[in-house]
């Protein structure tokens, strides 16, 4: 009996869902370099357990941070004592999570086809993987499912291939969900997959793209992290790899690529949200893509989709040196965000990673660009911080619809500008 009790306690610890009651998301406005540094000092105080949603970078750029209830008083006093202004963006994180969970449980009927699949709610890993199978079964001439590897915890890593035939054609890669808590990205990826099957043969802009190029779409790029956001901690960002000698789990899969790896713009601390990993490509979720891209050898555009902040970014992130193609990438970005805004008026900022947001070493698109994939872009989808990573499900379809217009612009440019 005692053994069963111990087992139940252990299982409770493993499978319990982390609670965010009383946690607030503060938007901090640092007016000077000195204030930015003060906020960075806060970031280093691990006992406060702060979760920076938007990092401290430069004066005038918003800083968003989730503060546990137990640290709220200390953080607010610190900010006020240094004359640093802040507002409360999210009053109680748990109340948003409760709404999200209720909305999901209300709409949990299993879809029998991709036509009856609910694109306006968030889905679990299992539901998304079931969707992949449905889409392939319904469109066998157009869609196939490729397993490019297994995650650290042994989950299959799937990529959808959309192709009208031919061997090793020029290709476009799109991935969503590399940071597991950015749920609107995986949800948008599901919507994109359906959209591709609907628009081929119907849409005069899209059809020539798929007539001449293949599209690879990885919807759940970090399956372990994504499963963990559903099972235990909705705010989990990293992979779930375990490192000998450290109690902290996972690495940031967008700091693990072999492009300026280990330079400023990533952390060497395994407990940090931007921990780069033990070495470049140490995370199997990253290595699987690296191996696929190298083996394919003919990928012409690579688009990695994140949230939030409403940005369209191109290389570089690890160096302030402009990318050789920066003028063309800037023009394409401008056209893409203009197309995106045409639907709902959503405004995106665009530019190189390092100039637009911050230095980020070891990121995805710096590596792909250095591999010769000229059209390498990163999106940060809705919103600008009102909900952050907890975007209401009612915004999934509008987000996907507007983003598709930007993707279409990039894909069409790639088709019309072979290299």
d(CA 323, CA 235): 33
Q: Do 374 and 300 touch, CB atoms closer than 8 A?
A: yes
Kindly state the helix (H) or strand (E) to which residue 74 belongs, with its residue range.
helix 69-81
Choose, from 182, 380, 402, 412, the residue flagged as catalytic.
Answer: 380
d(CA 79, CA 77): 6
d(CA 13, CA 16): 6
What's 19's DSSP letter? P
Q: 380 an active-site residue?
A: yes
What secondary structure does DSSP assign to 292-350, as a single string? HHHHH--EEEEEEEEESS-EEEES-SS-SSPPTTHHHHHHHHHHHHHHHHHHH----EE
d(CA 363, CA 253): 8
Residues 342-372: b if buried by 16+ CB within 10 A, e if exposed: eeeebebebbbbbebbbbbbbbbbbbbbbbe
For residue 307, the cross-strand partners are 381
Which residues form the catalytic set?
Answer: 380
């Amino acid at each position: 009996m005692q053994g069963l009790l111990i087992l139940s306690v252990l299982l409770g610890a493993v499978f319990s869902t982390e609670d965010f009651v009383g946690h607030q998301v503060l938007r901090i406005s640092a007016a000077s370099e000195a204030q930015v540094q003060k906020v960075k000092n806060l970031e280093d105080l691990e006992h406060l357990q702060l979760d920076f949603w938007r990092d401290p970078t430069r004066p005038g750029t918003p800083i968003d941070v989730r503060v546990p209830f137990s640290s709220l008083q200390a953080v607010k006093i610190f900010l006020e004592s240094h004359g640093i202004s802040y507002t409360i963006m999210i009053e109680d994180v748990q109340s948003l999570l409760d709404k999200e969970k209720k909305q999901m449980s209300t709409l949990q009927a299993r879809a029998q086809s991709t036509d009856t699949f609910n694109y306006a709610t968030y889905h679990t890993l299992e539901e998304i993987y079931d969707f992949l199978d449905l889409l392939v079964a319904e469109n066998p001439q157009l869609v196939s499912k490729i397993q490019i590897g297994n995650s650290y915890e042994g989950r299959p890593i799937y990529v959808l291939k959309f192709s009208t035939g031919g061997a090793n054609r020029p290709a476009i890669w799109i991935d969503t969900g590399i940071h597991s808590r950015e749920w609107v990205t995986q949800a948008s990826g599901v919507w994109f997959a359906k959209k591709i099957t609907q628009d081929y043969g119907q849409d005069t802009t899209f059809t020539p793209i798929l007539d001449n190029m293949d599209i690879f779409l990885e919807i759940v790029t970090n399956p372990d992290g994504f499963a963990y956001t559903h099972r235990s901690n909705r705010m989990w960002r990293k992979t779930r790899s375990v490192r000998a000698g450290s109690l902290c789990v996972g690495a940031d899969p967008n700091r693990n690529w072999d492009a300026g790896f280990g330079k400023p713009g990533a952390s060497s601390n395994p407990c940090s949200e931007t921990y780069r990993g033990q070495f470049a490509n140490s995370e199997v979720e990253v290595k699987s893509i690296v191996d696929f891209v190298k083996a394919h050898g003919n990928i012409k555009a690579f688009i990695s989709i994140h949230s939030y902040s409403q940005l369209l970014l191109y290389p570089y992130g690890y160096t302030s040196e402009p990318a050789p193609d920066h003028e063309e990438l800037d023009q394409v970005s401008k056209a893409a965000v203009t197309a995106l805004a045409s639907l709902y008026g959503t405004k995106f900022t665009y530019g190189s990673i390092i100039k637009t947001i911050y230095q980020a070493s070891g990121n995805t698109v710096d590596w792909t660009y250095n591999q010769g994939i000229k059209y390498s872009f990163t999106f940060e989808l809705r919103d600008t911080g009102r909900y952050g990573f907890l975007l209401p499900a009612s915004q999934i379809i509008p987000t996907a619809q507007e983003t598709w217009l930007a993707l279409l612009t990039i894909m069409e440019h790639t088709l019309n500008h072979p290299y």
